[in-house]
């Protein structure tokens, strides 16, 4: 194996085996039901077997396969515990690592992009990768000026593999639906495909990371490594230590989990307001928890943020309609919320819905914004997913009639993904505080007016 996509026929065969396996298990499940086992028990077992195979295959491959695996992994909190538990460790591994690229391939890319004397740029360079992801892997090194750096090297053939994998996966996306109740996997795959060229462009990534690094340079809560050097297929940034968020999820103390959750929520809403960009890849592998002075206690921990390959460009920050609708939903203004949603395209002109029913649909979802501090748990997320996924529920019927405008697709996914991570952390978060400070339209009008006159 010299590069990505290995041999195309091998990748295609592995991915093609997924729907065959799912179909085989469905036949097996039908036999079990005929044999007298309850449909619910059989469905749970099918779900677990499908998940086991899916994440094993996606974890073996890079490219679009691993990209989808990372995107799905943050939603494991929505799965029933008996299904989610057994492969949670596999998902954590998927978020942090992948089979490495051969050293000779790494050296060839560096020689091509940095020049034959690329080693002169470094005082030290570790051939063993420190981390690997969907389109590139990271090596630890020391830049010629003595700074510790992370060298991100893109896999040869990454673009072709991404497009090929995602095209293959989209063909049987419907079969993957039961893995994440209430979520349609096909639009997720479509969105990942639409952003392939952007993610492959390290110049765009460097620009987004520099902007964040500059804005958060003196921030006491969020740390973004600055860009040291960038060329095609190679990105060099400052090295950042810290505890991977995936380790906080599995082994962190209550104080660490709460602090990580609070800072993650803060970054989600403050980033667009401060930079005009939304970091759009919020899986635990892209975050670190950095300790501050020991004497300052848990509040001194900071959030380190990595990987700016996928961002949503929001020059005006998050749309004010989001904050306004949230605030008015919480105060029970059903008619106004309904009209705002219709004006923004969430309710099509051809559809007529009961405003009170829409309010009833939204309130459980935005419960975390209703209280001073909310405990994000897997049980809460499972309940929300089950409510929306159950075809017999009014929420399911109403949800099918709502529309998600294209401009909100990425915002929606990032928000859901962040909530998934908060539930993995089991974090207690003062979400209302972050919304009030950073989300346009959420703060009561009198507070906003007061701030403007200060």
What does the pLDDT read at residue 67?
63
Which among 326, 339, 334, 342 has a CA at the least distance from the CA of 411?
326
CB 14 within 8 A of CB 60: yes
Q: How far is CA 418 from the centre of its chain?
A: 6
What does the pLDDT read at residue 120?
97
End-to-end CA distance of the chain, in Å? 63
- For the chain, list residues with pLDDT below 50: 1-9, 20-43, 87, 95-97, 446-450, 452-454
* pLDDT tens track for 154-175: 988 877 777 777 777 776 666 6
What does the pLDDT read at residue 306?
94
* pLDDT tens track for 282-292: 888 899 999 87
Q: Within a 10 A sphere around the Cβ of 34, how many other Cβ atoms?
A: 8
Cα distance between residue 16 and residue 26, in whole Å: 16
Phi and psi at residue 346, to the nearest 5°: -75, -25
Cα distance between residue 365 and residue 346, in whole Å: 16
Cα distance between residue 438 and residue 453, in whole Å: 18
Q: Bridge partners of 131?
A: 138
Crossing angle of the two packed helices 355-362 and 394-401, in degrees rounded to 10: 110
Q: Which helix (H) or strand (E) holds 171?
A: helix 158-171
Q: How far is CA 171 from the centre of its chain?
A: 22
CB 43 within 8 A of CB 29: yes
Cα distance between residue 273 and residue 156, in whole Å: 36
Name all domains of the chain by residue range, CATH numbers in brackets: 8-96+164-194 (no CATH), 103-157+198-238 (3.30.200.20), 320-453 (no CATH)
Which among 442, 288, 253 has a CA at the least distance from the CA of 366?
442
Cα distance between residue 89 and residue 79, in whole Å: 14
Q: Which helix (H) or strand (E) holds 96?
A: helix 88-96
Contacts of 20 (CB under 8 A, 6+ apart): none
CB 262 within 8 A of CB 427: yes
What does the pLDDT read at residue 326?
96
CA distance readout (Å), 271 to 110, 264, 314, 417 = 32, 10, 10, 16
CB 181 within 8 A of CB 25: no
């Amino acid at each position: 194996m010299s590069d990505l996509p290995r041999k195309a026929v091998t990748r295609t065969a592995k991915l093609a085996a997924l729907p065959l396996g799912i179909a085989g298990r469905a036949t097996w499940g039908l036999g079990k039901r005929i044999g007298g086992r309850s449909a619910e028990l059989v469905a749970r077992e099918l779900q677990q077997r499908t998940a086991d195979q899916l994440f094993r295959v996606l974890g073996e491959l890079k490219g679009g396969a691993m990209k989808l695996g990372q995107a799905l992994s943050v939603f494991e909190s929505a799965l029933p515990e008996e299904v989610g538990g057994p492969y949670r460790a596999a998902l954590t591994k998927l978020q942090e690592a992948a089979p490495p690229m051969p050293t000779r391939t790494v050296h060839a890319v560096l020689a091509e992009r940095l020049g034959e004397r690329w080693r002169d740029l470094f005082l030290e360079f570790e051939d063993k990768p420190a981390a690997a992801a969907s389109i590139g892997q990271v090596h630890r090194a020391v830049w010629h000026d003595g700074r510790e750096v992370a060298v991100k090297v893109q896999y040869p053939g990454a673009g072709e593999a991404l497009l090929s994998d995602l095209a293959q996966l989209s063909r049987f996306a419907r079969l993957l639906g039961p893995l994440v109740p209430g979520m349609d996997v096909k639009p997720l795959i479509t969105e990942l495909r639409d952003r392939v060229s952007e993610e492959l462009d390290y110049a765009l990534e460097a620009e987004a990371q520099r902007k964040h690094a500059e804005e958060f340079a003196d921030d006491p809560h969020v740390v973004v490594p600055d860009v040291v050097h960038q060329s095609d297929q190679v990105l060099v940034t400052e090295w950042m230590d810290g505890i991977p968020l995936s380790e906080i999820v599995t082994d962190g103390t209550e104080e660490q989990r709460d602090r990580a959750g609070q800072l993650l929520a803060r970054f989600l809403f403050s980033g667009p307001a401060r930079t005009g960009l939304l970091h759009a890849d919020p899986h635990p592998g892209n975050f670190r928890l950095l300790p501050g002075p020991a004497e300052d206690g848990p509040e001194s921990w900071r959030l380190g943020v990595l990987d700016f390959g996928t961002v949503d460009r929001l020059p005006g920050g998050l749309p004010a309609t989001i904050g306004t609708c949230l605030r008015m939903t919480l105060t029970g203004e059903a008619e106004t919320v309904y009209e705002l949603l219709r004006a923004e395209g969430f309710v099509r002109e051809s559809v007529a819905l009961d405003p009170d029913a829409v309010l009833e649909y939204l309130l459980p979802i935005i419960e975390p914004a209703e209280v001073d501090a909310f405990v994000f748990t897997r049980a809460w997320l499972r309940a929300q997913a089950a409510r929306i996924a159950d075809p017999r529920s009014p929420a399911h019927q109403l949800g099918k009639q709502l529309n998600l405008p294209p401009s909100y697709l990425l915002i929606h996914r990032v928000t859901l993904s962040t909530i998934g991570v908060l539930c993995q952390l089991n974090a207690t978060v003062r979400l209302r505080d972050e919304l009030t400070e950073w989300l346009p339209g959420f703060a009561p009008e009198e507070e906003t007016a007061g701030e403007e006159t200060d």
